Amino acid sequence: MRVRLAPSPTGTLHIGTARTALFNWLFAKHEQGKFLIRIEDTDKERSKPEYTDNILDGLNWLGLNWDEEPIIQSNQIEQHRTAIKTLLHKGYAYRCFTTEAELDAMREEQKNSGQAPRYDNRHRNLNLEQQEAFKAEGRTAVIRFRIDDSAEITWRDMVRGQMSWKGSDLGGDMVIARRAPANEIGAPLYNLAVVVDDTAMDITHVIRGEDHIANTAKQILLYQALGLSIPNFAHTPLILNAEGRKLSKRDGVTSLSDFRAMGYTAEALANYMTLLGWSVPEGMEERFTIKKAGEMFSFDRVNKAGAKFDWDKLNWLNAQVLHEVPINLLLESIIPLWTEQGWNLPNQLWGKELVELIRPSLILLNDGIDQAKPFFEQPKLEQDGLKQLKIEGAIKALKTLLDLLENKPWDGVDTKQAKSLLSIAADSAGVKKGLIMKSLRAALLGKMQGPDLITTWSLLARIGQDRSRIRACL
Ligand code: GLU
């Protein structure tokens, strides 16, 4: 069992491609097969090495490890050309001399008479004389593969069941090599290249998005003409936006690196992308690792219908991952975000405690910036904090507490001592303990919402920030 992902490096790793990669990987894991990569870089103008790097990097980050060295499609061109020669030789393909202007005129005519645009196969049966005449005119030619209108293409799709396409719905004879001088073979095109490469790579199952269904029909005809064995096919549902349309650049983030930059974890994204189209078997939780999903995966549970992208679910999964991940790993992933802000940890233990403190409110990893900010920078006093400090007795309570601390600064470790200091301060200022606690929160964080007070105080006390913040409020 050998499957492959065949990305074109004409852009960064798209979430749809990542999901296709994931389904290939899951299937390979389940079947103990191999997951391979082929970089389809034959579009020289749009392909860039940095996109290849971005794609491989993204797959790696998601944990979708591949077997064998990635194949680079442009290195295979000679094999593609050989296949084209075979097709020409056997009469399955021919040179089409129709000029771009003639093709435009043909399409225009089709449009005006209400027909679907297609090549009308006008050069399919040119005799030698006609061909020579076109050559003598100096015309260039593309190479087309014959698609008989009467052809009936059928396959059993692993997701969609029995499929059937009519040759007449494939747009006429298909171009398999780009325009070139009439005695040459121009650059081989996608459908031809894929068939040759999938064969060379011994691919047994082609798993890709449903936008490739018509290509599959064309490719099956090529397999047959070349006398090659036809792999199995699975067409996975598209990812849709909230309006039910194919998720596209217009929907904002679609590139895996954007999700990553927003603070989604690889684990949550991989988990979520699996759910985009695959329903978990009965009894299995929706929160899982891809390793676990690989054990359970089958195409029987992949839906035919498009999968709507659900941000709430992704966020929920991301929060679950962040809440469960070992604290050291979480700290390790957050430190670079803090460093970018110019924030340095006084020590590892302090960082660990801070992460432990803020983690329940993290949905995205990047929330760790806002949540940690008051521990690295003096916060500004917000409306609710100000209101708290205006309550009668608040300032007096804080002053009393500060006096106590000036005599005997709290070391930030013994929490019993912190609680007793609060009680003593409340008693001697003649206020309720609740008032002093709320006011201390306002003084330390500038606002009334926030994590556990004693831990917050403890962290600030250990970096010598508690008394200065209280003092600033008086
Ligand atoms: N390069 C094609 C794409 O990125 C590959 C499709 C396929 O898997 O055959 O859409």
The pTM of this model reads: 0.92
At residue 243, the pLDDT reads 87
Cα 466 from Cα 199, distance rounded (Å): 69
The angle formed by the CA atoms of residues 74, 79 and 83, to the nearest 5 degrees, is 125
What value does the mean pLDDT of the chain take? Answer: 96
At residue 247, the pLDDT reads 84
Using DSSP, state whether 344 is helix, strand or coil. coil
Of 148-157, 251-260, 415-424, the least confident: 251-260
Instruction: Name the closest-CA residue to atom 4, ligand 1.
Output: 7
Cα 343 from Cα 354, distance rounded (Å): 13
The angle formed by the CA atoms of residues 378, 384 and 388, to the nearest 5 degrees, is 95
Whether the CB of 205 sits within 6 Å of ligand 1: no
User: Is residue 59 situated within a structural domain?
Assistant: yes
Using DSSP, state whether 432 is helix, strand or coil. coil
Please check whether residues 359 and 457 belong to one and the same domain. no
Please check whether residues 82 and 179 belong to one and the same domain. yes
Q: Per-residue pLDDT averaged across 43-66, rounded? A: 96
pLDDT tens-digit series, residues 359-386:
999 999 999 999 999 999 999 999 999 9
Percent of the chain topping pLDDT 70: 100
At residue 249, the pLDDT reads 76
Please check whether residues 354 and 276 belong to one and the same domain. no
User: Is residue 219 situated within a structural domain?
Assistant: no
User: Is residue 203 situated within a structural domain?
Assistant: no
Q: Which element (helix H / strand E) includes 142?
A: strand 140-145
| 48 annotated active-site | no
The residue whose two tokens read 């105080």 is: 457
Please check whether residues 97 and 157 belong to one and the same domain. yes
Residue 254 has pLDDT above 90, yes or no: no
Cα 18 from Cα 453, distance rounded (Å): 42
At residue 250, the pLDDT reads 78
Q: Which atom of ligand 1 is nearest to the CA of 40?
A: 1
- Domain extent, residue 93, equals 77-188
At residue 252, the pLDDT reads 79
Q: Is the dihedral of CA 145, 98, 44, 214 positive or negative?
A: negative
Q: Per-residue pLDDT averaged across 291-315, rounded? A: 95
**Which of the 8 DSSP states describes residue 345?**
-
User: Is residue 370 situated within a structural domain?
Assistant: yes
- Going by pLDDT thresholds of 50, 70 and 90, the confidence category of residue 251 is confident
Distances (CA, A) of 357 to 137, 170, 258, 439, 463: 79, 60, 27, 20, 16
> Is the distance from CB of 106 to CB of 173 less than 8 angstroms?
no
Nearest to 373 by CA among 296, 298, 456, 309: 456
What is the 6 CA–ligand 1 centroid distance (Å)?
A: 5
Kindly give the residue spans of alpha helices, DSSP state H, lying in 210-326: 213-226, 256-262, 266-275, 290-296, 311-324
Q: Per-residue pLDDT averaged across 265-293, rounded? A: 96
> Is the distance from CB of 214 to CB of 170 less than 8 angstroms?
yes
Kindly give the residue spans of alpha helices, DSSP state H, lying in 90-175: 100-112, 128-136
What is the 266 CA–ligand 1 centroid distance (Å)?
A: 23
Q: Which atom of ligand 1 is nearest to the CA of 194?
A: 9
Whether the CB of 8 sits within 6 Å of ligand 1: yes
Q: Which of 90, 246, 249, 291 is catalytic?
A: 249
pLDDT tens-digit series, residues 208-237:
999 999 999 999 999 999 999 999 999 999
List CB contacts of 459: < 8 A, sequence separation 6 or more: 350, 353, 354, 357, 375, 412
**Which of the 8 DSSP states describes residue 302?**
B
Please check whether residues 85 and 179 belong to one and the same domain. yes
Residue 239 has pLDDT above 80, yes or no: yes
Domain holding 291: CATH number? 3.40.50.620
At residue 196, the pLDDT reads 98
Cα 292 from Cα 283, distance rounded (Å): 13
pLDDT tens-digit series, residues 142-164:
999 999 999 999 999 999 999 99
Whether the CB of 194 sits within 6 Å of ligand 1: yes
Number of structural domains in the chain: 4
At residue 246, the pLDDT reads 85
Please check whether residues 387 and 372 belong to one and the same domain. no
- Going by pLDDT thresholds of 50, 70 and 90, the confidence category of residue 172 is very high
Whether the CB of 318 sits within 6 Å of ligand 1: no
Whether the CB of 6 sits within 6 Å of ligand 1: yes
| End-to-end alpha carbon distance in the chain | 73
Please check whether residues 26 and 89 belong to one and the same domain. no
Cα 260 from Cα 264, distance rounded (Å): 5
User: Is residue 218 situated within a structural domain?
Assistant: no
Please check whether residues 121 and 38 belong to one and the same domain. no
Q: Ligand 1 pocket test: which of 208, 219, 223, 239 has the largest number of ligand atoms within 8 Å of its C-beta?
A: 208
Percent of the chain topping pLDDT 90: 95
How many other CB atoms are found less than 10 A from the CB of residue 388? 21
- Going by pLDDT thresholds of 50, 70 and 90, the confidence category of residue 93 is very high
Whether the CB of 212 sits within 6 Å of ligand 1: yes
How many other CB atoms are found less than 10 A from the CB of residue 214? 14
**Rounded (10°) angle between helices 190-200 and 77-89:** 110
Please check whether residues 83 and 176 belong to one and the same domain. yes
Residue 245 has pLDDT above 90, yes or no: no
Using DSSP, state whether 161 is helix, strand or coil. strand
Chosen domain end from 287, 314, 341? 314
Whether the CB of 208 sits within 6 Å of ligand 1: yes
Domain holding 183: CATH number? 3.90.800.10
At residue 253, the pLDDT reads 82
User: Is residue 263 situated within a structural domain?
Assistant: yes
Distances (CA, A) of 88 to 96, 211, 225, 305: 12, 28, 11, 40
Instruction: Name the closest-CA residue to atom 6, ligand 1.
Output: 6
Q: Per-residue pLDDT averaged across 79-103, rounded? A: 98
pLDDT tens-digit series, residues 38-50:
999 988 899 999 9
Strand blocks (E) in 167-221 = 174-181, 205-209
Please check whether residues 184 and 83 belong to one and the same domain. yes
> Is the distance from CB of 264 to CB of 314 less than 8 angstroms?
yes
Please check whether residues 333 and 308 belong to one and the same domain. no
Chosen domain end from 128, 163, 188? 188
Chosen domain end from 314, 343, 363? 314
At residue 379, the pLDDT reads 95
- Going by pLDDT thresholds of 50, 70 and 90, the confidence category of residue 308 is very high
User: Is residue 72 situated within a structural domain?
Assistant: no
Q: Which atom of ligand 1 is nearest to the CA of 211?
A: 10
Q: Which atom of ligand 1 is nearest to the CA of 17?
A: 4
User: Is residue 116 situated within a structural domain?
Assistant: yes
Domain holding 371: CATH number? 1.10.8
Domain holding 466: CATH number? 1.10.10.350
Whether the CB of 98 sits within 6 Å of ligand 1: no
Cα 225 from Cα 137, distance rounded (Å): 31
What is the 245 CA–ligand 1 centroid distance (Å)?
A: 20
Cα 60 from Cα 64, distance rounded (Å): 6
Please check whether residues 370 and 417 belong to one and the same domain. no
List CB contacts of 262: < 8 A, sequence separation 6 or more: 253, 364, 366
